[in-house]
Structure 1
Amino acid sequence: MGCFCLKKLRHKAGYEAPINLASETPFTVNEVEALYDLFKKLSNSIIDDGLIHKEEFQLALFKNSNKQNLFADRIFDLFDVKHNGVIEFGEFVRSLSVFHPNAPEADKIAFLFKLYDLRQTGCIEVEELKEMVMALLCENNMSLSGDVVDLIVEKTMIEADTKRDGKIDDEEWKEFVKKNPSVIKIMTLSDLKDLTLAFPSFVMNSEVRDL
């Protein structure tokens, strides 16, 4: 009985069996176990409760728990499927699976649409697009003049907003991505295809792509 209790105590709140998560995602059981090792490191980096808090997420991305970035905030919010302010292991694996090279392209397109839809209105408006472009530039330590950013946003809206109503809905977004496949390259992390039990140091890196 003592042995059984110790076994139960190994896993904290939000833990899900690797075999179950592997059946729902492109990851193998071994890869999910590797992600659990990573998850434990992240979730215990500031608060030892087996859950990833926003500060721990920031620390993993930037090596700084206080650095504010809209891009990181949006990724955290989308990973936090239950909207309870923390990321559980199951949420971590399922959300991360969207970035797997073998994940369906439709899932990647939908995730990126949600990322840009800051106000969660079901469409991407001009200001939301501009805020995300600036956040991505900031995250990659790049700096462009306001005029250049405005030009990028204007060019994107002209091409994507085919209904000319000042916003991009999900159908327009799908068509835009189809014509500009480089837009969703940010949604594929090749390292996720070669995870092993020894996989030590995943850090989500995004790259600014031409829109």
Structure 2
Amino acid sequence: MGLEYSKELSEKEVNDFSKTTGFTKTQITKLYEKFMILNTQKTGRVSYQEFLNIPELASNPILERVISLIDKNNNQFIEFHELIETLSIFVVEEKKQERVDFVFKIYDLNGDGFISNGDLFLVLKSMVGENLKDIQLQQIVDKTIAKFDKDEDGKLSYDEFINLTKDFKLDELLLHELEI
């Protein structure tokens, strides 16, 4: 990919993104302009490190995990289509299931289809930092698992996670956490 990446989206690309993402053409153009500012190497993609260097995002405790989930082809770079397709799950009402899937994957650190006690502890620890002692945080994790682990296997399945999130405004929580 040694060629310099095009600085503008074609009208067809903008129209296609608009149809599939729920963003307006103006929003797509603005997102692309911001993306291209991050694209310092002019390759059409942004490295994980470039995202981590953004001061407004750098303090987000789950940023690395979110970036790794946006990177669908696991090449350590975010391409514009990956970013806009992921952001669209928070814009299009019909993509509610994808939103839940995305959040579940944030917590399922090892990708085994379950949120273990350890998974939940590590994600929450990254969010609360030193504001809670480990023992206090572990008590919260244990109570959460005990309350929602209906089959009593010591971890949360996808369905159990959905039950956990029913009382929360998941979209608002995640959008706030991602600062979108």
TM range (shorter): 0.7 to 0.9
Structure 1 unpaired stretches of 5+: 1-7, 190-202, 207-211
> Relative contact order (C-alpha < 8 Å, sep 6+): which is higher?
1
Q: Deviation per CA, 1:169-190, whole angstroms, max 9, x where unpaired?
A: 1111111211x2145532235x
* Closer/same/farther in 2, CA of residues 95 and 63 from structure 1, 3 Å limit: closer
The aligned amino acid for 1:58 is: L
Tell me how far 1:148 sits from its aligned partner.
1.7
Q: Specify the code of the residue in structure 2 equivalent to 1:177.
A: T
Confirm or deny: 8 A CA contact 1:98 1:187 kept in the other structure: no
- Which residue in 1 is equivalent to 2:142? 154
Could you say which residue in structure 2 is the equivalent of 1:118?
109
Aligned-pair identity in percent equals: 24
Letter in 1 for 2:116: E
Q: Please identify which structure carries the higher helix content.
A: 2
Matched, 1:10 2:7: yes
Q: Is the 8 A contact 1:71 1:132 kept in 2?
A: yes
Runs ≥4 residues deviating over 6 A: none
SS in structure 2 opposite 1:159?
helix
The aligned residue for residue 205 of structure 1 is 179
Superposed counterparts of 1:128-207, under 5 Å: 128-138=119-129, 143-178=131-166, 180-188=167-175, 204-205=178-179
Q: How many residue pairs are counted as aligned between the two chains?
A: 174
**Cα distance in 2 for residues equivalent to 1:163 and 1:204:** 32
Q: Secondary structure at the match of 1:173?
A: helix
Following TM superposition, by how much is the alpha carbon of 1:101 offset from its aligned partner in structure 2, in angstroms? 7.2
Mark the CA change 1:63 to 1:70 in structure 2 (over 3 Å): closer, same or farther. Answer: closer
Please give the TM-score of this superposition, normalised by the length of structure 1: 0.72
Flag structure 2 segments of 5+ consecutive residues without an equivalent: none
Q: Tell me the distance in 1 between the aligned counterparts of 2:104 and 2:89.
A: 13
The verdict on how the C-alpha distance between 1:135 and 1:175 changes in structure 2, with shifts beyond 3 A counting, is: same
- Partner residue of 2:66? 75
**Conservation of the 8 A alpha-carbon contact between 2:72 and 2:82:** yes
TM-score (norm 2): 0.84
Shift of 1:115: 0.7
- Report the counterpart of residue 60 of structure 1 in structure 2: 54
2:77 partner amino acid: V
Do residues 26 (structure 1) and 22 (structure 2) align? yes
Please tell me whether the aligned partners of residues 21 and 92 of structure 2 are also in contact (alpha carbons under 8 angstroms).
no
